């Protein structure tokens, strides 16, 4: 080397770490602040994020179905049955049961159900029953708890009282004394749901790294090599990338490098944490809040048949309590229809029997009861 040629400074290879900042897609759960204005969107995100919670609410809605209304007049009873079967409930649906499904779904998720009785143009009968979004409705209380009005927010932010308050339906779910709004079944779930989603998100990332291998290629070139460390690193990276691209297309290409080359699988030495225990602990809390027995959601946590029978009895009492909260709303609808038709507005609400027991066990019990009666008659 001539004395006037400048020696190139040694270039250090870059140290690169590529990892995106990843989180689960339901970010509202991590930014939850217990204010009513954002609760409804939060609860809907919980149902969308955790399938078992969504399934529990839908099962509760289905189990609460089946209602009949009785009145004293035979002619009025026929017309009332026809009305409850054919009343328009919007979006191509008919019948009081479709309205109850939407109404009860809003009650359990949002804490309150809001609906409207729509009269025909002549005002002689109820033409439709429609559900409203509880997030758009606010309550303005009067001088007493018995006096309240349903309102909506105008463009300026001021509450505006809705017209025809006597045709609006409002049912809070488990209301508290300090405010008129009900309490959602999902109220105590945001924190645990956020933890559960973090576990699932980390589990998915770990399996993505285990299933889709990442390699760490370290090349230690010779000091006497004419190529700099930067150039050698770029060359190795280029050839390694081509080899990986070929493997994705089904072709096999060997990777050959000169020098001290070390290739390792990133994360191969680490084990994936066992998520069964923490996930079950969280799901136990969430399922207990819904009141649904685990075996109805496909969870085999009940160790004995006796325990499952007791859970079914508890679910029966939960459904009965929810039905009681719907009675005033149903009575208002039926009484208004009867008054518009000129009939007596006295009605009684009859729900179908809740039966979660095994049909085989019931048949066996009836057989034993019949045999006992037969033995009693022979003895007498």
Residue ranges covered by each domain of the chain = 25-213+271-380, 215-265
Is residue 262 within 8 A of residue 218, CB to CB? The reply is yes
Chain centroid offset of residue 292 CA: 14
How far are the Cα atoms of 244, 282, 326, 339, 344 from residue 67, in angstroms, in the given order?
64, 35, 11, 21, 20
Question: What distance, in Å, lies between the first and last C-alpha atoms of the chain?
Answer: 128
Q: According to the model, what pLDDT value does residue 108 have?
A: 94
User: CA-to-CA distance for 47 and 28, rounded, in angstroms?
Assistant: 13
CA distances from 112 to 95, 186, 193, 298, 349 (A): 21, 12, 22, 29, 21
Q: What is the pLDDT of residue 346?
A: 92
% the chain with pLDDT above 90: 37
Once rounded to an integer, what is the mean pLDDT over residues 23-52?
72
Distances from the Cα of 129 to the Cα of 96, 103, 119, 197, 333, angstroms: 8, 10, 9, 38, 9
Residue with tokens 């136990």: 284
Q: How confident is the model at residue 294 (pLDDT cuts 50, 70, 90)?
A: confident
**Residues 139-151: b if buried by 16+ CB within 10 A, e if exposed:** eeeeeeeeeeebb
Assess whether pLDDT exceeds 90 at residue 52: yes
**For the ranges 22-26, 39-43, 207-211, which has the lowest average pLDDT?**
22-26
The H-or-E segment that residue 160 falls in is strand 159-161
Q: What confidence score (pLDDT) does residue 35 get? A: 47
SS3 115: strand
pTM for this one? 0.73
Helix (H) or strand (E) holding 229, with range, is helix 229-248
Q: How far is CA 343 from the centre of its chain?
A: 43
Three-class secondary structure of residue 80 per DSSP: helix
Enter the tokens of residue 276.
């069964």
Tell me if residue 25 falls in helix, strand or coil: coil
| H or E element, residue 70 | strand 67-71
Mean pLDDT of the chain: 81
* Segment among 60-74, 150-164, 258-272, 336-350 with least mean pLDDT: 258-272
Chain CA centroid to CA 327, Å: 26
Q: Which residues contact 42 (CB under 8 A, 6 or more apart)?
A: 28, 29, 32, 190
pLDDT at 126 over 80: yes
DSSP at 166:
G
């Amino acid at each position: 080397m001539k004395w006037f040629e400048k020696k190139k400074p040694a270039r250090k290879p870059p140290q690169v770490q590529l990892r995106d900042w990843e989180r689960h897609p339901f970010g509202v759960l991590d930014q939850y602040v217990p204010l009513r204005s954002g609760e409804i969107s939060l609860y809907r995100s919980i149902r969308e994020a955790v399938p078992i919670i969504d399934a529990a609410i839908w099962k509760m809605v289905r189990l609460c179905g089946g209602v009949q209304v009785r009145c004293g007049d035979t002619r009025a009873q026929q017309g009332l049955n026809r009305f409850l079967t054919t009343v328009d409930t919007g979006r191509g649906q008919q019948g009081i049961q479709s309205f109850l499904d939407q109404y009860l779904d809003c009650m359990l998720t949002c804490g309150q159900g809001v609906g409207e009785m729509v009269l025909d143009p002549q005002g002689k009968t109820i033409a439709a029953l429609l559900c409203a979004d509880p997030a758009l409705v606010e309550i303005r209380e009067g001088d007493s708890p018995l006096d309240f009005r349903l309102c909506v927010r105008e463009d300026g932010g001021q509450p505006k009282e809705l017209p025809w308050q006597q045709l609006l339906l409002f049912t809070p779910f488990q209301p508290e004394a300090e405010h008129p709004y009900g309490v959602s079944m999902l109220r105590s779930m945001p924190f645990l749901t956020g933890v559960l989603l973090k576990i699932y998100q980390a589990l998915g990332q770990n399996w993505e790294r285990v299933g889709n291998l990442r390699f760490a290629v370290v090349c230690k070139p010779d000091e006497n090599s004419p190529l700099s460390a930067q150039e050698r690193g770029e060359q190795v990276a280029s050839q390694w990338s081509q080899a990986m691209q070929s493997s994705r297309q089904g072709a096999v290409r060997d990777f050959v490098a000169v020098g001290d080359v070390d290739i390792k699988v990133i994360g191969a030495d680490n084990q994936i944490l066992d998520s069964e225990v923490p996930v079950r602990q969280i799901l136990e809390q969430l399922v207990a809040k819904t009141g649904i027995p685990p075996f109805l959601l496909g969870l085999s946590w009940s160790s004995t048949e006796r325990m499952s029978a007791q859970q079914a009895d508890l679910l029966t009492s939960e459904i009965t309590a929810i039905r009681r909260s719907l009675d005033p709303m149903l009575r208002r609808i039926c009484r208004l229809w009867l008054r518009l038709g000129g009939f007596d507005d006295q009605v009684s609400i009859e729900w179908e029997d809740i039966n979660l027991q095994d049909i085989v066990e019931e048949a066996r019990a009836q057989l034993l009861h019949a045999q006992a009666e037969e033995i009693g008659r022979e003895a007498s």
